Every structure is written in C-alpha cells, then in structure tokens.
Amino acid sequence: MTSYHMSPEEFRANGHALIDWIARYMENVEQYPVMSTVEPGTIREKLPGTAPEQPEAFKALLDDLDNVVMPGVTHWQSPSWFAYFPANSSPPAILGELAAAGLAVQGMLWSTSPAVTEIESAVLDWLVDLMALPQSWKMSGPGGGVIQMSASDSTHTALVVARERHDVPVDRLVVYASTQAHSSIEKGARVAGYKHVRLVDVDGNFALNTTALAQAIEKDVASGLTPVFIVSALGTTGTGAVDPIDAIGELARRYGMWHHVDAAWAGNAMICAEHRLHQGTLENVDSYTFNPHKWLFTNFDCNVFWVADRKPLLDALSILPPYLRNEASDSGQVVDYRDWHVPLGRRFRALKLWWVLRSYGAEGLRHHIREHIHMAKELTQRLEIDDRFRLVAPTDFALVSFSHVNGDAATQGIADAINDSGKAMVTTSRINDQTFVRVSIGQTRTEQRHVDELWKMICDFA
Ligand code: PLP
C-alpha cells in the first residue's frame, strides 16, 4: 500500500534533529539581532508560489528554518528582550507542548479525553493556592477555572456572561474600565454588542479613580442606562498600574455589576506573597484572568480564566446538540470545558503548564519572578538618581517606565537607537501627551549583565 506518512522511525530521527536545533537556538539566541529587520514581503518571496507536488525530505524543512524563517524572526526569547511584555518560555513548556501535539487529543468534552479536563482542573486549583485566590474559585466550589487562548478571549467571555444576566437591550448596558485599560476590553465589548464603554479617569499613578467611576455610573443611571460590567486592571499595559480592586468591587456590588480583574501580566507575580497587597481580598470579584504565557515560563498560548460562580457562565454558553450527548455529561459528574468558552475544540494546553509547575516547583518560579522584579527595581534606582531621566510611573513589578527630560524626541531617540543596535529591544508608549520608554524585564534567561548592558545603552544614547 502506498504511504506518504513519515514512519515512527523517521519521526524519531527527525525529532532528535529538531530538538538539537531548538537546544542550539537556546544556546545562541543571545547572538541574534533581537528585532528582525527584513523588509515586508522578503520572507514570502523565498517561498514558491505553489505548494510542492512531490514530498520533500525533512532535512530540507529543517534547513529552511535557518534559511527562510530565522531572518524573519524577532527574538522574543532573547535575554535582551525588554519590549512589550515578555512572552517567555522554558524547556519543560516546549516539551509539554510537544507531548500534547504527540497525543493530539481534542478535549472538548470530559469523555473525549478525561486527562485533558482533569489535569486542567487540578492545575488551576493548584494556582488558586499558589496565588492565594479565593478558595471558592476551585472546582470543588461554586467557581472554577479554565484555560483559554488569550486574555482577550477571557475578557470577551466575561462580557458575554455579564450581558446575558440582564433582561435589558444591549444598547442600554454600560461597560466601565480606566483610560489605561487594555484595548481588549473595548474590543471584547464591541464583539459582544455593547454600545457604551466608559473609559474612566485615572489618578497620578495611572490607577482608576473611583470617584470618577462613581460619578460616571451615577450619570449613566440617571439617564436610564444600566451599568453591567467593570474591569479592574492588576497591572496596566502602559505602566503596570494597579486599580483599587477592593474599592471597585464595592461599587460593582452596589450597582449589581460584573467585576472582572484583568491581571494578564502582573497576575503572575501573585505567586509571591509580598506582591499580593496589590490584589486585595478579591472578595467582590466575579472573574479574573492572567497569562502564564506572559511571565510564567509557559509558551504562548496559555491564558487562565476563573469565575467565582460558574453557573452564569454555563447558563450563557451551554448548548447541547444531540451529537455531543454522552453518558458522562448526562451524569452531571464531569466538567465539559466546551461550555466554558466560545470554541468547541480545545487542545491539551494544561500539559505544558503542569510540566512547568512541576519542573520549576513553586519555589523555582518565585525565585525567577523575584529576580526579574529585583532587576527592574535596581534599574529604576539608577534612573531615579540620574538627572537626564524622569520616571513616569512607580515600578511595582518588573516594568520600568521613563522618559528623557529633554522631551519626546530625546526619549524616542533612546528607544530607536537601542532597537537599531540589534542588541536589545524596548518599546515606547504615550501617556499624558508624553512619550516614554517601557523596559519590561521578564525573559526566561535575562540576567543582571543584560540589564547592565541595556543601562549602558540608555546612557550612551541619552
Ligand atoms: N490585558 C493586559 C493588561 C495586557 O497587557 C494584555 C497584553 O499585553 C492583554 C490583556 C491581552 O492579552 P492577550 O494577548 O492574551 O489577549
């Protein structure tokens, strides 16, 4: 019988070659220019216009990782990655991803692979303890957690659940967040059909101003609208600001709103007890999301979403067509995660997170997160005592925001020169009509010497 399949023997040999390639990449990643500088279309030009008619040897595929792919890669895994937020990774995560691909199961229902559901539930319960979240969010309580692709998906899901709780036309419902909230809130609200999103003023540290929030809510109520959703940011994207979560929770309860915490990046730091003061009691929180795919050594994608009560989530999203009915689901004894988010199909993302937690241990994860935060605070001190620079926001976690005292052109000039050097990468943003440089420290292999090198460049280009 004709077969074009790669045999298990060939897979073994090719797989070893690929693992060798990835290990070499880890060893050498520091030597590549961090940001790809290819012109648009350059990579595509290297590909033939049509798919190959004849099979190609795996060696050719591997060679093209170097020849075609690498020139177009921006090295998020470089230890001199200080741009955006990190999307870090680690060997156990990569191996977990590979094992999940090897099993290639589809965990839409408990019964379609019980291990996918049960490991996911157990690992998210572990995280409830590791991050000191309310015990009632565990699967044994009224709440529960699920892994999704992105924080944007989780926020969108929460917005849909909040919408469904009200018997009011969607064009009468109002969503609130601060002016510093991530764009995924506005996007999620748009996709969920909301017409009113209020971006509320912030205080001097760029955290949501609750007086302004209360005023905005009152104004909307007075004009006959219904407040339904408020987002607290635990670590804004611009400057890492933390909204007053408990105070916002009280307002949410007073007005019957769904309270969602977007902890996409800084949530990872909650595994360290000394940072939990930012999180407060989380008493009046309905949902919470964070991204292990940012800062917990678990490669993209891996987002966690908890709800304090899973009933409204399931009421909003469960649809049971006859072809998905099965005895386990009918028994009510199992979790079917397809009812916890928009997609039906779901991959075994929990495997890599499980392996990361086991491979590092909580102690190892805390150690590295603390190292990142320590390096960020140290860089902050250097900037603070140098009169060429001005700190734009406090450094609560591992994001340093600063500008040049000579203004926007000088500030942008520092970032451009660093990025053009290829030796490191940072991003800029704007706040209060002013450009600032964001230095986000959280790459898996970033050491003090990489931050020292960055500091040298900041000074040289100032
Ligand atoms: N929320 C915050 C605070 C973020 O910083 C980000 C991304 O940086 C997101 C949400 C979106 O995350 P995702 O890419 O997982 O949708």
Report pLDDT digits (tens) over 60-105: 999 999 999 999 999 999 999 999 999 999 999 999 999 999 999 9
> What is residue 53's predicted lDDT score, i.e. its pLDDT?
98
Expressed in angstroms, the distance from the first to the final Cα of the chain is 68
Give me the pLDDT at residue 297, please: 98
Q: Best mutation site among 81, 154, 178, 184 for ligand 1, i.e. most ligand atoms within 8 A of its Cβ?
A: 184
| Residue 321 pLDDT | 87
- CA 184 to centroid of ligand 1, rounded, Å: 7
Domains in the chain: boundaries:
97-355
pLDDT of residue 160: 98
Which residues have C-beta atoms less than 6 Å from ligand 1?
85, 150-152, 182, 184, 233, 235-237, 262, 264-265, 291, 303
Q: State pTM to two decimals.
A: 0.97
From the CA of 301, give the closest atom in ligand 1.
15
Ligand 1 pocket test target in 183, 208, 239, 291 with most atoms within 8 Å of CB: 291
Q: What is the pLDDT of residue 119?
A: 98
Question: Could you say which residues of the chain have pLDDT below 50?
Answer: none
Determine the Cα–Cα distance for residues 456 and 462; give it in Å rounded to an integer. Answer: 10
Distance CA 339, CA 259 (A): 21
Which atom of ligand 1 lies at the shortest distance from residue 263's CA? 3
Protein fold of 97-355: Aspartate Aminotransferase; domain 2 (3.40.640)
Cα separation, 269 vs 240, whole angstroms? 12
Distance from the alpha carbon of residue 125 to the mean position of ligand 1, in angstroms: 22
